[in-house]
A and B are shown apart, each in its own frame.
Chain A
Amino acid sequence: MSSQRTHARRGMRGRPGTLTALMVGALVATFASACGGSDSGSGSGSGGDPKSLVIAGWGGSFTAANKEAFYDQFEKETGIKVTIATPGGGFAAKVAAQRAGNNIEWDLLEAPGGDTSKLVLDGNLEKFPASLVQAVTPLVADGALRPSPAEPYYLDHGGTVNLIGCNTKLVKKCPTNPREFFDVKSFPGTRGITANNPIFTSLFGLAGDGVQPQQYFPADVDRAMNSLKRIKPNVSVWATTPAQMQQAIVDGEVAIMQAPNTVLISAMKSVPELKLYWEGGLLFDEGWCVPKGAKNKEAAFKFIQWYAEKRELQAKFTTKLGAGTAGRDMQKYLSPEVLKNLPINKTGVTLVDGMAGAKQQQELGKRLREILVG
C-alpha cells in the first residue's frame, strides 16, 4: 500500500493546479463560443422582415445549383436577403411539427411531389394568390400549377422519372417496360428496385402486373403487393438512397435497375453500356410551395413569380442537372441534346397523381413494409 500513499501525496502537490486550469479553460472557451454563436445563429429567427426569405431545400448539389441559378440572382435584383436552410427531406413531417409548435420557420420549399401533395392534403400550404396565378399562367406549361389550376398550391419545377436502366454488358435481352421487367423468365438478370417511396414502388408493381397508367389510382393494394411479392426472390437490391443505386449499377451487382433518371444518367459515366427504357416511367414532380403561416410569404410569392419569368435561368439550371422544368415553350431556351433527355418529353412516361398517392401512402407503405421485411 505504500504506492498509494506516494500517489496521494504527489496528487496533492501537483495536480489540482492543472485540473483547475483545465476547467477554467473549458469554461472560458464555453462562454466565448456561446456568445460568438448567438450572434451568428439568429438567421431564421428574424421573422416578418419583408426583405428576407428563408428557403428550405434538399442541400447538396441540388440546392447548390438552385443557389447558383436563382437565389443569388434574385437577391441581387430584389434586395431580398435569401437564407438557405437544408433540412434535407422530410418536409411534410417537419412543416407539420412547425405548425403544431406555431412557429413556421421556412418561407419557401423546394420540395418533392410526395411531400407537397401531403402538405396540400393536410392543409399546410398557402394557396397562391389570384394575382400570382394570373401573372404566372402565361409563363409556365399547362398544368404546371398543381394540384390543379383551380387549387393552385405549388408550382411544378420539373421532377424526376423512375425508369428502367439495363446493363447490356451483363444481359443479352433487356426488358423495355415494367411488364418485361417483372417477367423474370424471359428476361433473366439480377434486378434492383427503388424503394425509397412506397407510392413509387407500389405503382411499379402494378405496372409490372399489367395495370394501365390511367388505372393506377385508386391503387389496388393487394394486386400491387402480390406482384412485388412474386418478384422479390429475383430482386437483389431494394435501394433507398441514390448512392446505393449508383453503387449497385457501377459494381455490376445488378444488371437491370429501376431508378430515377438522374441516378441512371450519372451512372452511365462509369457504365457506358447502360441503356435506358422510358416506357412505363413514373414522373414525380417537385414544386415551389409556401408553408401556411410563413413569416415572409409575400417575398416567397414574389420569388415564384420571378422564377417563372426567368426562363433563360431555368434553362441553365436544367442543362446543368438534367432535371425537368415547368416553363412554357422551353424548346426556345434549351439545346436539342438537353431536350432529348428531359423526362417530360418522353412518351410512355406518366405523371404520378401526387394527391391520389398521398391519400394511399400510409396504407401502401405499411403493406410494402410487410412484403419487404416479411
Chain B
Amino acid sequence: MTTDTLTPSVPAGTERRSVPDTAGRRVLTHGLRAVDLVVRAVAVLFLGVPIVCVVVLSFSNAEVLQFPPEEWGLRQYRSFFGSDTWIDAMVLSFKLATVSAAISLLIGIPAVFALYRSRLPLKGLFQAIGLSPLVIPGVAYAVALYTLFVQFRLTSNMVALVLTYAVHGLPFVLLILGSAMARLPAETELVAMTLGASRPRAMVGITLRLLLPAIGASYIFAFITSFDEAVLINFLGGPGTVTLPKAIFDNVKTGLDPNITAIATLLMAGTGVVGSLAFMLRRKV
C-alpha cells in the first residue's frame, strides 16, 4: 500500500506551530490528543490480545484449546505440516483468492467507470445488483446458487467457483472504488486533457492513479473474502475443491483440533512479514 506518494507530503512540525495558540484552543487540542491516544491504545490492545493468545496457543502440545497451555511443544505445527490435506487446502485457497480477486477488479473497475463516468441509464439498478452478494445472507445466497450449480452441473467446476468468488468480491470494488471515485472531481481528467493528454491517457494517468489506494483496498478485501469464505464452499465445493476454511470447518465439526492455531499463526506471521517488508521498502516521501 504505497499510497502516501499520492498526496503532497507535510513537512514535519509545520501543521500546528503556524497557528497562534490561545488557551482555549490548546485545551481543546490537547483534549483531542488525549482522547485520540486512549482510543488508539484501547483499539490496538483489543486487536492485539487475541493475536497473542492464538500465537501462544499454537505452541501448546494439548489436544484441546486450553489457556494457559499445560505443555509446550510443536504438536500443532507438526500436525499441520504432516498433513497434505492442510497444505493442499492452503495452496488452493491462495490460488483461488488471487485469481478471483483479480477478476473482481477486471470486471469491477470498468463497471465503476461506467457507473460514475458515463451517461449509462439504470445505474442505480446495476449498482444494486452488484452490491447484493454482500447484502444477502451467505446461507441464503448459497442455497440460491446451489440450485444453479446443480442444474448446470457446475459443482467442483473450478471456473464456476472462481467466478462465484469474483462476484462475491465485487461489492467491495463497487463500494470502495465507487466512494473514492465519487470524491474525485471529473474535472481532473478534463484538466489533463486540456494539458494535452488523450482521454484514455487522462483516465489511466490521473483517475486510475489517484484511485490506486482504493483499488489496492478493494483487491485486499476481495482476496480476503474469497480466502476466508466458508459458507458457499460447503454447498458449491466438490471433491476437488477443499479450501482452507472448508478444511477447518470439516475439522471443527467433529471436535476442535487446536492445529488451526498453528495455521492461523503461520498466516498471520506471513502477512506480518510481508507487511513489514512493504513498510521497510517504502521510501519516505
Contact = CB atoms under 8 A, between A and B. Distances in A.
Direct contact between the two chains A and B in their complex (CB within 8 A): yes
Contacts of A23: 106
A33 interface: yes
25 contacts: A8-B191, A12-B201, A16-B205, A26-B106, A33-B95, A33-B98, A37-B158, A38-B159, A41-B156, A41-B241, A43-B156, A43-B240, A59-B253, A60-B252, A86-B242, A86-B250, A88-B246, A94-B146, A97-B150, A101-B147, A105-B155, A242-B255, A242-B256, A246-B64, A246-B255
A45 B251 CA distance: 26
B175 interface: no
Given A59-B251, A88-B250, 5 more contacts: A20-B204, A30-B106, A33-B162, A88-B253, A103-B153
A12 B197 contact: yes
Nearest to A250: B64
A243 interface: yes
Interface string B89-104: 0000001001100110
A19 B204 CA distance: 8
Contact of A12 (B151, B192, B240): B192
A266 B257 CA distance: 12
B99 A30 contact: yes
A38 B188 CA distance: 44
Nearest to A249: B64
Interface in B149-176: 150-151, 153, 155-159, 161-162
A61 B254 contact: yes
A44 B191 contact: no
A105 B150 contact: yes
Interface in A1-35: 3-5, 7-9, 11-12, 15-16, 19-20, 23, 26-27, 29-30, 33-34
A73 interface: no
A28 B164 CA distance: 19
Contacts of A102: 151
B19 to A, nearest CB: 22
B206 interface: yes
A231 to B, nearest CB: 26
Interface stretch (B50-58, B123-131, B231-239, B270-278): B231-239
A20 to B, nearest CB: 8
A3 B99 contact: no
A97 B250 contact: no
B262 interface: no
A5 B195 contact: yes
Contacts of B81: none
A284 B277 CA distance: 54
Interface in B1-46: 6, 8
Contacts of B103: 26, 30
Interface in A232-271: 241-243, 246-247, 250, 262-263, 266, 269-270
B156 to A, nearest CB: 5
B118 interface: no
A59 B250 contact: yes
Given A12-B197, A60-B253, A97-B146, A4 B156 contact: no
A90 B256 CA distance: 20
Nearest to B247: A59
A177 interface: no
Interface string A32-62: 0110111011111100000000100011111
Contact of A44 (B156, B197, B235): B156
A110 to B, nearest CB: 12
B209 interface: yes
B249 interface: yes
B250 A60 contact: yes
Contacts of A97: 143, 146-147, 150
Given A3-B8, A19-B208, A242-B254, A94 B235 contact: yes
B159 A34 contact: yes
A83 interface: yes
Contacts of B208: 15, 19
A246 B254 contact: no
B63 interface: yes
A130 interface: no
A12 B205 contact: yes
Contacts of A8: 188, 191-192, 195, 197, 205-206
B153 to A, nearest CB: 6
A365 interface: no
Given A41-B241, A45-B157, A60 B251 contact: yes
Contacts of B95: 33
Nearest to A65: B254
Contact of B158 (A20, A40, A59, A85): A40
Nearest to A243: B256
Most chain-A Cβ atoms within 10 A of its Cβ — which of B151, B197, B209? B209
B155 to A, nearest CB: 6
A149 interface: no
Contacts of A37: 158-159, 161-162
Contacts of B234: 87-88, 90
A71 B254 CA distance: 19
Contacts of B150: 97-98, 100-101, 103, 105
Given A15-B205, A97-B147, A100-B147, A26 B253 contact: no
Nearest to B200: A16
A89 interface: yes
A62 B254 contact: yes
B255 A29 contact: no
A84 interface: yes
B38 to A, nearest CB: 32
B156 A11 contact: no
B239 A58 contact: no
Contact of A29 (B98, B251, B257): B98
Contacts of A33: 95, 98-99, 158, 162
